[in-house]
Amino acid sequence: MSEQANQSFDSTLSAAGLRFAIVVSRFNSFVTEPLLAGALDALGKAGADLQQVDVVRVPGAWELPITVRMIAASKRHDAIICLGAVIKGDTPHFDYVAGEAARGIADASAETGIPMAFGLLTTNTVEQAVDRAGGKDGNKGFDAAMTAIEMANLLPKWRPFGHR
């Protein structure tokens, strides 16, 4: 019986030569615009050509899934960064929007094979959202972009030779 060594597949955090789309919700723009700035900062620091980054604004989190699915179908991007903020209110609207947006993004990524970084904040308060959009808890837009870079470098190692 032969023993086969396990392979290790590591990714890099270089965005050089990669194409990204950022889909950002306009709703709660006081939160989403800092998330966008954080994502662009991360991409720039990692070597992405920011002139090659497509930024697509949508009305709200509900519109994220269909938009990322259409962008992924274009096969023009190595990864898509999804940014938005759903802040809990007094009605169950939060649960429907946040849950369906998350499910829709996950389904779109799984079905298309394009990595989609989840930078959709789902918070109980405005303060929590602000803290995660460049406040005391960092910038989740920056974090989502770093995830997108890592996955854009990792997944091609599993695709058939010659396919990006």
Catalytic residue among 26, 75, 76, 93: 93
3-state secondary structure of 82: strand
Helix (H, G, I), strand (E, B) or coil at 9: coil
Buried b (16+ CB within 10 A) or exposed e, 16-53: eebbbbbbbbebbeebbbbbbebbbbbbeebebeeeeb
Show Cβ contacts of residue 148 under 8 Å, excluding neighbours closer than 6 positions: 20, 79, 80, 81, 115, 116, 117
Angle at 86 between CA 132 and CA 68, to 5 degrees: 95
- The phi and psi torsions of 81 (rounded to 5 degrees) equal -110, 125
93 belongs to the catalytic site: yes
Strands 79-87 and 54-58 turn out to be: unpaired
Residues recognised as catalytic? 93
